Structure 1
Amino acid sequence: MLPMPELDGAPEDARRTIEARLRYEDIAQDGRLKLDALPPLMGACCWRGLLVGHPLTERLAADGVIAILRRFVLVGGDTPLSVHHAVRAAGRFGLAHVPGERRRFLLELRTDVEGPRGRTHGPPPERAGELGPAGRLYGEHVFTRPFAPPERRRVEALPADVGVGPERAWRQVEDVLDAPGEALDDALAHPAAVRLGLAHTDSNQHVNSLVYPRLAEERALAAWAEGDLLARALEIVYRKPSFAGDVLRVTARRLRREGRPGATVAFHAEGETRPRVAVQLWF
């Protein structure tokens, strides 16, 4: 439903596999892993497990260059899981670039999660203990110098010996909202105002990136007015951060594709013509 790069060519020093325990809130009542449980596993596996202290990131950081998250693709599996058993997360990273007059350089992360079939309460499922896919995700980050003067923030080249990786398309918020399938609503349907507070923020001094997928799924559920739906595929593009005290207008447009319900969700701030964040999700 939502493709993502495999990053199979990552060298050994760009790969790591970990085991991790899940929280109760990570697993839905039917046993499937929720999508917003995937990024923390990528963080543990790729960021803390691979990139912190890696020669590449250390070298770029010395020049003030860091990678900023701008896009996620999340896909959930159907394996029933239990909080009593660890899952396995296999992560890797690579570089890519967006060609054109405004060339951009990307850090790409990919994590695949599998776990033993289980159930937290009640009798075990069929084939209990057998490993199965729990989810996979792709994280796209753009290299920038966020603390430099405006004229130096854009990264126009990487060190010659680093390489630039494959070409990628630059997905924007409008691309995410232009989703395939039959649209059942206008683009700005099912609006709701959301006031953001300190509970939505993190130590990066802005609203945390995982707040938006949760709010998007809640808005899509409200639009469909059905309670037995669980998001299984989601793409999100972050264009501009939000902060405690901001009020965003969140709209949802219901979609149907090959019988599958979905929605596009946009987060608008007053006075801005483009959404700050755009989400496409499928149940």
Structure 2
Amino acid sequence: MHYFPDEPHVPEQQQATAVMHLRFEDVSQNGRVMLDALPHGLGPAIWVKLLRASPVEALMTTQGIIPILTRLIIEGGDGPVAAREPLALKGSYQLARTEDAASEVNRLILAMWLSAMWLSASARRSRTYGPPPPGAGEPIQVGRVFAEHVFTRPFAEPGARKVLRFDAQDLPPVPPERYAWRSPEALMGLPAGAEPFDPEPTLDPIPIAFGLDHTDGNQHVNSLVYPRLFAEAALRRLAQHGHGTAVLARRV
């Protein structure tokens, strides 16, 4: 089930704006920004502007404590926009904790929001080729992103990887904000009003083989590999059921 967490009120030092330039392949033929392009804005808006030289970066470089992405929500927005049009980004982040049924801390969280107004990403209405569209030049929101990370020690021995407290200057041992954890099972339902094609889950017929081309420095398959795989599997299923495939993923 789709759920986009509300952006919390955070101090100004946990908010930033930035600009992101698009690649030609980041914009579809109907002028919408591709879903897998939007999370790249987390880099300039949050990782560079807010977390570089911060206590969080110190955790990573001196203690091997790294926020590993555990959930990513991407929503596409309005258009059209030209591939040459830079995106205006607004990002924010929050440190938080989760608790188990006994109210004991069981995770430390780094949550990020990006938008062209929160990451949210905005741009001016435009086209890569041809005459300007109606409303050319007006600012429009082209998407937003929520990124949930859990702090862990990925390179430690298995029994030492869980992080329940910070031991760092300028960080509270446990963040005071409590975060509502959603289990993977809670995310598996259909959106409101959606009807399944098949009465039971059906295996995609195309095998997937991961290689180093799909990985990153966190020693796993990079999270942005999956949205494209999901979209391609969905298109195959549409075609198998006799539906047209001239559609564009707008939420994942």
TM-score computed with the length of structure 2 as normaliser: 0.85
- Provide the residue aligned with 1:110 in structure 2: 113
- CA 1:32–1:51 in structure 2 vs 1: closer, same or farther (change >3 Å)? same
The question of 1:229 aligning with 2:237 is answered: no
Q: Secondary structure at the match of 1:58?
A: helix
Equivalent residue, structure 2, for 1:214: 228
**Displacement, 1:106?**
0.7
Q: Secondary structure at the match of 2:63?
A: coil
Q: CA deviation at 1:60?
A: 6.3
Amino acid of the structure 2 residue aligned with 1:228: A
State the structure with bigger RCO (CA 8 A, min sep 6), 1 or 2.
2
Deviation at residue 103 of structure 1 after TM alignment: 1.4
The structure carrying a bigger strand percent of its residues is 1
Structure 2 residue aligned with 1:200: 214
- How do 1:148-227 residues align onto structure 2 when only pairs under 5 Å count? 148-158=156-166, 160=172, 163-172=175-184, 174-180=185-191, 181-185=194-198, 186-225=200-239, 226-227=244-245
1:10 corresponding residue in structure 2: 10
Q: Is the 8 A contact 2:165 2:173 kept in 1?
A: no
Q: Identity over aligned residues, as a percent?
A: 39
CA separation in 2, counterparts of 1:222 and 1:153? 39
Alpha-carbon offset, residue 56 of structure 1:
3.6
Contact 2:73–2:145 (8 Å) recurs in 1? yes
- 2: CA distance, partners of 1:48 / 1:116: 24
Equivalent residue runs for 1:250-261 within 5 Å = none
**Distance across 2 between alignment mates of 1:56 and 1:162:** 13
Match of 1:210, as an amino acid?
Answer: L
- Partner residue in 1 for 2:58: 58
- Displacement of 1:55: 2.6
Task: Give the whole-Å Cα distance in 2 for the aligned partners of 1:144 and 1:99.
Answer: 16
1:91 to 1:62, Cα distance in 2 relative to 1, 3 A:
same
Go from structure 1 to structure 2 and tell me whether the alpha carbon gap of 1:204 and 1:55 turns closer, same or farther (over 3 Å shift): closer
Look up the match of 1:67.
67
* C-alpha RMSD over aligned residues: 2.0
Q: State the Cα distance separating 1:203 from its structure 2 match.
A: 3.9
Structure 2: distance between partners of 1:20 and 1:87: 5
Structure 2, unpaired ranges of 5+: 116-120
SS of 1:105's equivalent in the other structure is: strand
Match of 2:148 in 1: 140
**AA partner of residue 32 (structure 2):** R
Change in CA separation of 1:154 and 1:206 when aligned onto 2, cut-off 3 Å: closer
Q: In structure 1, what is the equivalent of residue 77 of structure 2?
A: 77
Give 1:179 shift.
Answer: 2.5
Query: Which amino acid is 1:145 matched to?
Result: R
| Length-normalised TM-score, structure 1 | 0.76
